[in-house]
Chain A
C-alpha cells in the first residue's frame, strides 16, 4: 500500500504574523537523478520546491527527499526575497530527514529557532506550514491528529517508523514543513495519499524520530537505524502456546527467521519465544507498553543507536533465558531500499555492461528474468548474500560485432569469469584486467558461456567508446 503514498515535494514552483514565520524557509532544489541504464552519463536535472524550518545551531530541518540527489540548493526566508545558497549537513534516507545550513551568517539574523514538542494527543489540533501547490507564498492548513502508528516511509521504500496521521491537507510542496502545536514543532510533514486514493490523510514524522536523528548526528556522522534483523509472529494459538510451554497469559511472540549478517544472528534462533524486551513485557500481538500506550515492540529498538544493545527475555525449548543483542547496521537489507546520492557502479568490457543490482537498478530496468527476480527478492530471506554479497548482472549490451551473440544473456547473473566465482563487481573488474586469450563469462543457470576474445575486445574498444559516447569504462 505504501507504494501509493506520494512524497509531497512540489516539482518546479509573504508577510505572515505568527512567530513561526520567522523560522520557516522555502527550499529550492536542483537535483540530478543517476542514470542506471547508461551509468557513465550524468542523469537528468530537475528542480523542486519544499519547506524547512530553522532549529538550534543555525540548522534547517527538512525532508531527505527534498534535498536528495541535490546539485544546488537555495533557501529563502518568509518575507525576504533573497535566496541564500545552502548545503546539506546530514541526510537520513531511512527516516526521510535532513539538516541543512547556510554559510552566510546574514541568513540567520532575525530568525527564531523552533523547539520540538512531544507526541500530540489524538484529536488535538495541529497546523501545517509549507509552500504547497496552489500558489507561491506560505500556506497554513489546520487539522487534527487522526492516528499514531507505524507506517512505511516511502522515500526509502523499506523502512517503517512511528508516524502520525493528520487530517489537514498535505500537498506537494508541504514536504519538510513544520507541524505546530502550542508554538512547538510536533512533526515534519512528509507524505500523503493522492486524492483519488484517500482523502484527508496526511502523514508527519513525529518528534521521537526527529530527535533520534538529531542525536544520531551529534558525533558528526549519521549511522542509520539499527535493527534486530529477525521476524516474529503473534502467538494466539492455544495449542501452540501449550506446546511451547507458555502460560495462557497473552504474552510472547514466536521467532520465525533470524537474518544472517544482522544483529541477532547467533544470539536468537528460529523457534525462540520473545517474552520481554528491555524488561518491557511483549504481548502476544507483538506490542509493548510504552508512553501510556501500546506500541510495536520494535519501538524499543527504534530509539536506540548503533553500538547500543537490547536485552531480550527468551523462552528456548521451554527454558527461560536472557540474552543481550548488540545492535548493528541493517546490511544486507539495504539492498531493497531506494538509494540516493549514489553514483551507479559499473564495469564496461567489450560493450557488455556489468552492474550490481539494487532497488534503484531494479526500478530502472524492471527485469522479467525469473532467476534475477528470485535472487533479488529472496536475497535476505534465503541468505543468498552468502554466495554473492553483490548480485552482479549483465545489465546491458552496447551492440557491436564483438558482442553480437551476447544480447540473449541480458539480465543474467554473472556467476564465473575464467573460472573465478564472481561475488562482487570488483571481481569482474579484476578478471578483465588479467591478460587472457579468452574471457569466458558463465551466467548463473545458463549452460552456454559468453566468450570474448581479448584481441576482438581490444580492437572494438575505441569504436564502442566513441560510438556510444562512453566517457568512462568503470566506476567501482
Chain B
C-alpha cells in the first residue's frame, strides 16, 4: 500500500502546469516564518522483498519537507520514512546536514516525529504552532522546495473537510481537502500546508487530474502528538463496526424506525470494542456521545460541520476512553457504552501492511513457508486483486469470516528446487493445513511440527492440489548447508 500511495503523491509530475496559475504574493513575514520552520528530509529506505523474504529490495531515496514543531521535533508523514535505513535532515538554504532518528511513528494516521542526532542543529529555527479553526473556503499554502533551496508556495482553497480512509490501513480519520494546482518538484513526499504562519496539516496524497490534495488534518496531528507525549503510545482507537445508510424508507419501515436519523450496523468486528460492548449487526446507531447521527452516519461537529461520527470514536476520543452509543434495537432504545481500543494488530490474520520489520519465513528442504499478508499480495502490483493468486486474495479479503482459532494463514510461497524437491518444482502459493499430522496455525507451528517427522518423512498436507507433499527428513538435515550455499540464503528461517 505504501508504494501505491506514494505514487499518487509522485504523480504530481504527469501534467505540465508550469505557469498556469499566477500565484499571489504572500506577505513577506509569512515567508520568513515558514522558511525558518521547514527542513528538507532525505530518507533512504529499503523494503523487504516478499517474493524472497530473506532479502531486501534495492534501496531508494524519498525526499520531503518536514516541519519543526515545539520540542525540537520534526513532523513528517510516516510514508516518507517507512522502511528507512537512514534519515538525513538538510537545511534548504545552506545544505547543512544532520542525521535523524524516528522518535514516534504511526502508520495508521500516517504521521512520524523525527529528532536530529545533533540537538544544536535546529538552532535558529522557529517551530510552527498548529492552526485551529480552518473553514471550508479558506485559503492555505502548500510549501515545496525548489532545487536551489527556495521555498515555492502554492495557494489553494479548502474545498471540503471530511472523514476519509488513510492510506495504509484505511482507518477513517479527518482530512482537509484542498484544491490547488501543484507542480512536480523534487522531494514531494511530505509537504507542509500552512495558514497564517501556522501549520494546517501535511499533504499526504495529490491527484494531479482533479488537482485535489488530501491533507492530514490538525485534529489528527493533535491526537498523535498527545498520544506521543504519553509514556505508553496508544494510537488511534476504533469501534470496530461497519454500517450502511438508512435512507431507504422501506428498510426504515421494516426495522420499525421512527427516529429521523440513524445508521444500520452491517458488521461488528470479532473481539472488537463494539462486540465487547454488545453491539450487533442490525442495530441502528442513533447518536454517539449525545450527538445525533443522521441517515448517512454524519453528525454536526461544532468545529468541522457535518462529518462522520467515526471522528468522535477515532480522533476526539483516545484509547481507553468510552463513547456512548444510543442504539435502536427491536423497537427499543438502548444506551451502549463502548470502551474504545486500537486494533490489536497481533490478532490480525492477514496484515494489511508490514513496515519496518522483516516478513517471517521458514525454509524446510527448499520448501518456503510464509504467513499470508496483504503486503505479500501487493507484490503483484497495482492490479493485485486480479493478478495475485486468487485463493490467497480471497482468504485475505474474507479473513474476518474464517473460523475462530485461525491465527495466521501459512502457505508455501515457492519451492527452491533441489534434488529433495524433485517433482515439486512448480508448486507455489498453496495453503498448508498440517505438517506431520499437526495443525498449522502459525509459522512457529511449522518449526515445532518439523521436529517430529513421521517415519523419517516430513509430510506437508494442503487444502488443495496436490494435497500432500512428502520430503525425506534426513536428507533435509544433511543438506541444510548445501541449500544455504546454493541459494545464498542468510538463514533457513526468520521468525
Give the interface of A toward B (CB within 8 A).
Answer: 231, 233-240, 242-244, 254-257, 270-271, 370-371, 373-374, 377-378, 381, 402, 404-405, 408, 438, 440, 445-449, 451-453, 456
Alpha-carbon distance A284/B485, docked complex (angstroms) = 31
Please, how many angstroms separate the alpha-carbon atoms of A254 and B265 in the complex? 48
Q: In the complex, are the beta carbons of A448 and B244 less than 8 A apart?
A: yes
The residue in chain B whose Cβ has the minimal distance to the Cβ of A408 is B244
Chain A positions within 8 Å of B469 at CB level: 240
Question: Beyond A231-B466, A233-B466, A405-B245: 9 further Cβ-contacts under 8 Å?
Answer: A233-B467, A236-B423, A256-B466, A271-B468, A370-B398, A373-B394, A377-B390, A404-B248, A451-B253
Q: Which candidate, B49-57, B212-220, B457-465, is the interface stretch facing chain A?
A: B457-465
Partner of B423, one of A235, A257, A271: A235
Among B421, B472, B475: residue with most chain A CB under 10 A: B472
Name which residue of chain A comes closest to B390, CB basis: A377
Given contacts A370-B385, A448-B264, contact A256 B251 (CB under 8 A): no
Sample 19 A-B pairs with CB under 8 A, ordered by A number.
A233-B465, A233-B467, A237-B423, A237-B470, A240-B423, A240-B469, A255-B467, A257-B465, A257-B467, A370-B393, A373-B394, A381-B464, A405-B245, A405-B250, A446-B266, A447-B282, A448-B266, A451-B251, A452-B250
Question: Which residues from chain B contact A238 at a C-beta distance below 8 Å?
Answer: 422, 472
Partner pick for B472 among A239, A254, A408, A448, CB 8 A cutoff:
A239
Total chain B interface residues with beta-carbon distance under 8 A: 41
Do B467 and A254 have beta carbons less than 8 Å apart? Answer: yes
Q: Complex formed: what's the CA distance from A217 to B242 in Å? A: 57
The residues in B between 263 and 278 inclusive whose CB is less than 8 angstroms from any CB of A are 264-267
Query: Which of B245, B267, B281, B468: most chain A Cβ within 10 A?
Result: B468
Beta-carbon contact of B457 and A236 below 8 Å? no
Chain B residues whose CB sits within 8 angstroms of the CB of A240 once the complex forms: 423, 468-471
CB-based contact A374/B470 at 8 Å? no
Report how far A257 CA is from B430 CA in the complex, Å: 14
The complex places the Cα of A239 from the Cα of B397 at a distance, in Å, of 36
CB neighbors of A among B441-495 (8 A): 455, 457, 459, 464-472, 475
Pairwise interchain contact B422-A254, C-beta atoms closer than 8 A: no
Q: How far is the CB of B91 from chain A (nearest CB, A)?
A: 49
CA distance A233 to B465 in the complex (A): 8
User: Which B residues are in CB contact (< 8 Å) with A402?
Assistant: 250
Measured between beta carbons, the chain B residues less than 8 angstroms from A445 are: 398, 401
Known: A373-B390, A445-B398. A451 touches B248 (CB 8 A): yes
Supposing A234-B423, A452-B250 touch, asked if A243 and B466 sit within 8 A by C-beta, the answer is no
**Do the beta carbons of B457 and A374 come within 8 Å of each other?**
no
Q: Are A256 and B464 in contact (CB under 8 A)?
A: yes
Bound Cα distance from A244 to B466, whole angstroms: 14
Residue numbers in A under 8 Å from B401 (CB-CB): 445
Binding site for A on B (CB under 8 A): 242, 244-245, 247-248, 250-251, 253-254, 264-267, 281-282, 385, 390-391, 393-394, 397-398, 401, 420-424, 455, 457, 459, 464-472, 475
Query: How distant is the Cα of A243 from the Cα of B460 in the complex, in angstroms?
Result: 12
Knowing A240-B423, A244-B470, A256-B467 are in contact, say whether A405-B455 is a contact too (CB < 8 A).
no
State the CA gap A240–B290 with chains docked (Å). Answer: 66
Residues of B within 8 A of A438 (CB): 250, 254
Nearest to B459 among chain A residues (CB) is A243
A378 CA to B395 CA, complexed, in Å: 12
A447 with B267: CB separation less than 8 A: yes
User: When the two chains form their complex, are residues A239 and B244 in contact, meaning their CB atoms are under 8 A apart?
Assistant: no
- How far does the Cβ of A13 sit from chain B's closest Cβ, in whole Å? 38
CB atoms of A374 and B398 under 8 A apart? yes
Question: Which residues of chain B are within 8 angstroms of A452 by Cβ–Cβ distance?
Answer: 250
Select one of B244, B251, B398, B471 contacting A371, CB under 8 A: B398
Q: Is the CB of B281 within 8 A of A447?
A: yes
Query: What are the 3 tightest A-B residue pairs by CB atom distance, in nearest-first order?
Result: A447-B266, A236-B423, A405-B248
Please give the distance in Å from B274's CB to the nearest CB on chain A.
Answer: 13
Report how far A237 CA is from B421 CA in the complex, Å: 7
Contact B385 A237 (CB under 8 A): no
Pick from B265, B391, B423: contact of A378, CB under 8 Å? B391
A236 contacts which chain B residues (CB < 8 A)?
422-423
Which of B266, B423, B465, B472 is A231 in contact with, Cβ under 8 Å?
B465
Q: Which residues of A contact B253 (CB under 8 A)?
A: 451, 453
The reply to whether B459 and A374 form a contact with Cβ atoms under 8 Å apart is: no
From residue B351, how far is it (CB to closest CB) to chain A in Å? 18
User: Bound complex: CA of A447 vs CA of B265, how far in Å?
Assistant: 7
Q: How far is the CA of A438 from the CA of B457 in the complex (A)?
A: 60
Give the complex CA separation of A234 and B425 in angstroms.
Answer: 12
Question: Which of B266, B391, B423 counts the most A-chain CB atoms under 10 A from its CB?
Answer: B423
Alpha-carbon gap, A256 to B459, bound state (A): 14
> What is the bound-complex CA distance between A452 and B281, given in angstroms?
20
Measured CA separation A447–B283 after assembly (Å):
10
For B465, what are the chain A residues with a Cβ–Cβ distance below 8 Å?
Answer: 231, 233, 256-257
Name B424's contact: one of A237, A242, A257 (CB within 8 Å): A237
Q: Which residues of A contact B267 (CB under 8 A)?
A: 447
Assembled-state Cα–Cα distance A288/B483 (Å): 36
| B457 contacts A239, C-beta separation under 8 Å | yes
How many Å lie between the Cα of A271 and that of B459 in the bound state?
12
Q: Give chain B nearest CB distance to A401 CB in angstroms.
A: 10
Min CB gap B350→A, angstroms: 14
Q: By the criterion CB–CB under 8 Å, are B265 and A456 in contact? A: no
Bound together, the chains give a CA A402 to CA B249 distance in angstroms of 10
A270 touches B467 (CB 8 A): yes
